[in-house]
Amino acid sequence: MKAKQRAVCAVFLAALVLFSSLLVLLPARAVSAAERRPLAQLTSYREWLSGSTGGYSRSLSGYFAWLETVLQDQAPGRDALRRLRALAKLYLLGERDTDGYYAVDGSLCKLDSELSEKAVLRAAERFRQVYERYFKDSGAHLYYSVVPDKNVFAAPAGGYPHYDFDELRELFGACLPENFRELPIGGLTLADYYKTDPHWRQEQLLGTADALLCAMGAAPASQLDWQPVAAGEFIGAYAGHSALPAQPDELVYLTNDILAGAAVYDYESGKTAGIYTPENLANIDPYDVYLGGARALLSIDNPAQTNGRQLVVFRDSFGSSLVPLLVPSYSEVIVVDLRYVTPEALGRLVSFESGCDVLFLSSSAVLNSYGVYG
Amino acid sequence: MLLVYLLVPARGRNAVLLAASLLFYFWGEPLYLLVMLGTAALGWLAGLALGRARGARAERPLCWLFSALCLAPLLFFKYTDFFLSNWNALTGRAAPLLGLALPLGISFYTFQVLSYVLDVRRGTVAVQKNLLDFLTYVTLFPQLVAGPIVRYETVERELRSRRTTLADFSSGVTRLCVGLGKKVLLANSLALLVSREGAGTSVLGCWLVSFGYTLQLYFDFSGYSDMAIGLGRMFGFHFPENFEHPYCAKSVAEFWRRWHISLGSWFRDYVYIPLGGNRCPRLRWLGNILAVWLLTGFWHGASWTFLLWGLYFAALLLGEKLLWGKGLARLPGPVQSALLLLAVNFSFVLFRAETLPEAGRLLGGMLGLGVPAATGSALYSLSSFGLLLVIAAVGATELPKKLAAKACGLAGGRAGTVLEPLFCLAVLALTAAFLVSGSFNPFLYFRF
C-alpha cells in the first residue's frame, strides 16, 4: 500500500516540477509554425495595457485571463500536447472529427455542413458592386467560377455532413448580374488537392486552366512547355490546425520561359517581383510562393504575349496558383483580392480596358464564410 | 505553493493557505475579493457577538441581524436585477437594471458563513476567535467557488491542527486526477455536443442536447467536487462527499440524497427542519417542502426557469411521497432508475435554459412538436459523440470505481502500485493536452 502511495505522489510531484521548470526555463516561442499564428508573450501589466489586449477587457481581470492564454501558448511541448489531444479525441473518445477537421483517404478536410445563404449573398453583393462601378456597359466579358472545397469530394465519401455544392453555385449565380457567364470547374477529384492543406495543387490544374481559357476565347495553357519545380515538403494549414498526424505533401510549381519573363507589380509594397517567390517557401505558409501569397492587388505584365488582351481576376487564395497558368495567354493580368481592397479604392489604382475579360474566381469555402467580404 | 505549504511549520500553514486562496480569488475576481472578505469578516464578528450574547435576550435578534447582513451581498448581486426586471414588467416602469457581474462563488461562501453563524447560535460549534483561521475556512481555495459547501463544524478541528499523511496526499492526488478527467476530458467534450446541437432542430438533436447536458452537468460539477476533495486531502482537510452516483438513484428523494449533497443537507438542516420538517400538520409540511424547493431553485439562479425547476422537484417529491412512490418501488430497479433519469433529464432542460420559451422549445422538440425526427447534423453528432455518451453514461455509475478497485487489487494489491500512478500520469498528460489547446470552458456551477 505504501509503495503505491509513494508512487502516486512521486508521479504527481515529478510531473508538476517538470512542467513548471520547463515552462520557466525554456525560451518563449514567438510563433507557432503549425498553427500559423504568433503566440501570446508574457508582458507586464503596463506593457499589456499599452498594446493590443488580445480581445480581453482592459482591466486586471482581463490581464489575468490574458496570462492564462500566455500559459496555454507557451506550455512546454505544446505541439505534442495538441497532437495528443487530437488523437485522444479521435481514438479515445471516438469523435469523428477534431475541432471540425477530419481525414478521408489521408486527406485532411474541414467540416462545412451548413450553406450560409447570408454569406453567399454578401459575396455576390460585393461582386455586383464591382460590376456596377467598373464593368457595366464597359464591353467587358464577365465570367465567374466557383472552386469546390475539398469537402465537396471528401464529405460524401467519408459520410460527413455537407451542403449541396450545386445549390451554392446556383444561389451565387442567381445573385449575380445576368450577363455573368458561369465557367464551371469540373474534372477535379480529392487527389487534385494537397492532403494537408485546403488548396489545390497547381500541377494538377492545367486541365482546369484550359477549360477556363478556352471558354474565354484564349489559347490553352497545356500546349505550352511547363517545367515542374519541386519546392520541397509542404505541411499545410489543415495539418497544423488540426494537429492530426499527416504525411507532408510535396509542393510543386510550374514554370516556363514565358512566366520567367513576366513581371508582377505589387501595389501594396510598390515592388516588382516574379510570378513565383521561392524565398517565400520559408514563410509560415509556403503556399505564399505563388504570386507572393495573400496580396490585395497585383498587375502582371507578360511581354511574351502581344495580343494586347487584358484579364482581370477577382480571386481568393485559390487563384494564386491558378493565375500563373492563365498568364501566358494574356498581355496583362490584373489580380484583385476583394478581401483586402475595397471596390472604391480599386479605380484609383488600376484602369480596366474596355472589352477585357473579367473572371470572378471564388472558392466555395470563402463564399460560404460570412464576414469575409465585409 | 504546495511545496511552500509542505515545508512551513504547522502553525504557519493556515497563513500560506489563506495567502494562496486570496491570490486565487484575486486572479479571477480582483474587485470582488473585498465582497468575499467583507462577508467573511461579518461572519467572524457575528460569531464573536453571538458568543458574548449567549443566553441573553439579544442573542436571537443578533443572529437574525448578522444572518441578514451576511446574506445582503448575495441578495444584492444575485437577485436585484431579477426583482427589478419583474417589477418593471409588472408596473410598466423602466427602472434601470444594475447589470452587475456575480462575484465568483458568492452563493457557496455565503452559505458557509451562514452555517457558521447559525451553528454558533445553536451552540454546536465553538466561536472562532482567530480571524486568520476563520478567513482560511471561508476562503479555502479548493472548494471556494463551486463547493462542496463545507460547514465549519466539518473542518473546525482540522483548522486548528491537521497532518498531511502520505495516505491522504496520495489519495488526494488520485481524487484530483479523477476530477480533472471528469471535467476536462468528459464534461468539456460533452459541452461540444451540447453546443453543436444546441439549436435543437430535430427530435434526435433535442434528446442529444438534453441527455448530453445531463451528463455534462454531472461530470462538470462532480469533477469540481472531486478536485476540491482531492486538493483538500493534500492539504490535510477532509471535505464531505458531494455526489454519490446520483443517476443510479431509484427515486427522486434518493437522487437528492446523492446529488449536491452539501446543498441538500444545508437546506434540510437550516431551513426544512427549523420550519418544522415533516413533524407538523400535513398542510404545513407541504408548505415546508415548497419553501425549501423554491429556495433551492432560487439559490441556483435568479430566474423563473430555476424557480420552476425547484417547483418541479417539489412536485415530484410530493407525488412520490403521496401518490406513486409505493407503486414505483415495486418496479424492477433498472426501470426505476430509467424513470428517474428521464425525470432528471427533463428537469435539466429547464436548468440549462436561459428563458422559459427556450426551455419550452427544447421540451417541445424532445416530444416531436414541430421538428423532424432527425437531421443530417443530428445523425452525425450521434455517430461522432455516441461513444463519448456511452463512456459518460457508464462513467456516471459505480462500475468504473468497482473495476478500478478490482484491477488495483490484482496480484495481491501489487497491480495498484503500477496502475494507479499510471492512471494519474495519463490523466495529467491528457488534461494538459486538452487544456493547452482547448477553448475556455468555465465550470457550470461557477455561475451560481
pLDDT at position B444 is: 60
Residues A175-202 have a mean pLDDT of: 94
Question: Residue B334, by phi and psi: left (phi above 0), alpha (psi -120 to 50) or beta?
Answer: alpha
Which of A80, A99, A118 marks a domain boundary?
A80
Using the predicted structure, report yes or no on whether residue B247 has a pLDDT greater than 80.
Answer: yes
Q: Say if the Cβ atoms of A94 and B380 lie within 8 Å.
A: no
Distance from CA of B413 to the nearest CA of A (A): 8
Asked whether residue A236 falls in the same domain as residue A345, the answer is yes
Please give the model's pTM, rounded to 2 decimal places: 0.89
Integer Cα distance of B18 and B132 in angstroms: 8
Burial (CB count within 10 angstroms: exposed 0-12, middle 13-18, buried 19+), residue B403 = exposed
- Quick one: angle between helices B333-352 and B304-319, nearest 10? 160
| CA B445 – CA B184 distance, rounded (Å) | 15
Q: Which residues, at least 6 apart from B150, have a Cβ–Cβ distance to it below 8 Å?
A: B112, B137, B140, B143, B239, B240, B262
Band the pLDDT of A186: cuts 50, 70, 90.
confident
Give the pLDDT band (50/70/90) at residue B443.
low
Note whether A58 and A150 are same-domain residues: no
**SS3 (DSSP) at A161:** coil
Pick the residue from chain A with its C-alpha nearest to B184: A85
Contact A31/B at CB under 8 A:
no
Cell of B387: 461513444
Instruction: Please indicate whether, in this complex, the C-beta atoms of A8 and B386 are within 8 angstroms of each other.
Output: no
Asked whether residue A29 falls in the same domain as residue A160, the answer is no
Q: Decide if A89 is inside a domain.
A: no
Q: What is the DSSP string of A164-198?
A: -HHHHHHHHHHHS-TT-EE----S--GGGB-SSSS
Residues listed for chain A: 374
Whether residue B293 is predicted with pLDDT greater than 60 in this model: the reply is yes
Q: Among residues A64, A80, A96, which one ends one of the domains?
A: A80
The answer to whether residues A218 and A357 belong to one domain is: yes
A23 in reach of chain B (CB within 8 A): no
Same domain, A43 and A161: no
- CA end-to-end span of chain B: 28
- Provide the pLDDT for residue B3: 83
pLDDT digits (tens, 9 = 90+) for A224-274: 999 999 999 999 999 999 999 889 999 999 999 999 999 999 999 999 999
- The verdict on A115 and A196 lying in the same domain is yes
Q: Which three cell numbers stand for residue B169?
A: 496526499
Q: Which residue has the cell 451542403?
A: A163
pLDDT of residue B18 exceeding 70: yes
Given B30, B413, B429, which is nearest A60 (Cβ)?
A: B30
Q: Known catalytic residue: B300?
A: yes
Summary count for chain B: helices (H), strands (E): 21, 0
Nearest CA distance, A13 vs chain B (angstrom): 9
Cβ distance B420 to A159 less than 8 Å, yes or no, reads no
Regarding whether A283 and A164 lie in a shared domain, the answer is yes
- Structural contact between residues A120 and A368, judged by C-beta atoms closer than 8 angstroms: yes
- Residues of chain B with C-beta less than 8 angstroms from the C-beta of A15: 425, 428-429
Same domain, A146 and A260: yes
d(C-alpha B154, C-alpha B399), whole Å: 29
Report the residue of A2, A85, A90, A160 to disrupt the B interface, i.e. the one with the largest count of B CBs within 10 Å: A85
The domain in which residue A15 lies consists of 2-80
Note the pLDDT tens digit of each residue in A63-83. 888 888 899 999 999 999 999
Nearest-CA distance B27 → chain A (Å): 6
CB contact under 8 A, B169 and A96: no
Residue A87 within any structural domain of the chain: no
Residue of B199, B194, B192, B248 whose CA lies nearest to B222: B248
pLDDT band at B445 (very low <50, low <70, confident <90, very high): low
Average pLDDT over residues B32-37: 94
Looking at residues A192-218, what average pLDDT do you find? 95
- B130-164 core/surface letters (b: 16 or more CB in 10 A; e: else): eeebbbbbbbbbbbbbbbbbbbbebbbebbeebeb
Res A5: pLDDT: 92
Co-location of A71 and A117 in the same domain: no
* One domain for residues A74 and A114: no
Cα distance between residue A90 and residue A112, in whole Å: 19
Short-list B98, B59, B65, B56, CA closest to B80 = B98
ipTM: 0.87
Alpha helices in B237-276 (DSSP H): 252-258, 261-267
Q: Which residues of B touch A7 (CB under 8 A)?
A: 417-418, 420-421
Instruction: Give CA–CA dist B272/B251, Å, rounded.
Output: 20
Angle ∠(B328,B332,B337) on CA atoms, nearest 5: 70
What is each CA distance from B111 to A263, B41, B217, in whole angstroms?
Answer: 74, 14, 21
Residue B333, CA atoms < 13 Å, CB-side half-sphere: 4
Q: How far apart are CA B145 and CA A19, in angstroms?
A: 26
Q: Any bridge partners for residue A264, and if so which?
A: A273, A300
For the record, the C-alpha cell of B33 comes out as 475579493
pLDDT tens per residue, range A283-324: 888 999 999 999 999 999 999 999 999 999 999 999 999 999
pLDDT at B136: 94
A325 in any annotated domain: yes
User: Quick one: what percent of chain A has pLDDT higher than 90?
Assistant: 78
Residue A95 lies in a domain: no
Q: Do A94 and B384 touch (CB under 8 A)?
A: yes
> What are B90-108's pLDDT values in tens digits?
999 888 999 888 898 899 9
CB atoms closer than 10 angstroms to residue A248: 14
Phi, psi of B117 (to 5 degrees): -60, -45
A167 and A69 share one domain: no
* Angle subtended by helix axes B333-352 and B203-234, to nearest 10: 90
Instruction: Please say whether the dihedral angle defined by the alpha carbons of residues A312, A317, A323 and A324, taken in this order, is positive or negative.
Output: positive
Answer whether residue A280 is part of any domain: yes
* Cβ within 8 Å, pair A16-B376: no
Where is average pLDDT lowest: A43-57, B44-58, B166-180? A43-57
A117 plus A70 within the same structural domain: no
Number of domains composing chain A: 2
What is the band of B392 on the pLDDT scale with cuts at 50, 70, 90? Answer: very high
Q: Under an 8 A CB cutoff, do A82 and B421 touch?
A: no
Q: Over chain A, what is the mean pLDDT?
A: 92
Q: Which residues pair with B8 in a beta bridge?
A: none
Share of chain B above pLDDT 70, in %: 97
Which of A45, A80, A115 terminates a domain? The answer is: A80
Query: Within an 8 Å CB–CB cutoff, is residue A22 touching chain B?
Result: no
**In this structure, what DSSP letter does residue B182 have?**
I
Distance, CA of B108 to CA of A82 (rounded, Å): 35
Cβ atoms of A255 and A231 within 8 Å: the answer is no
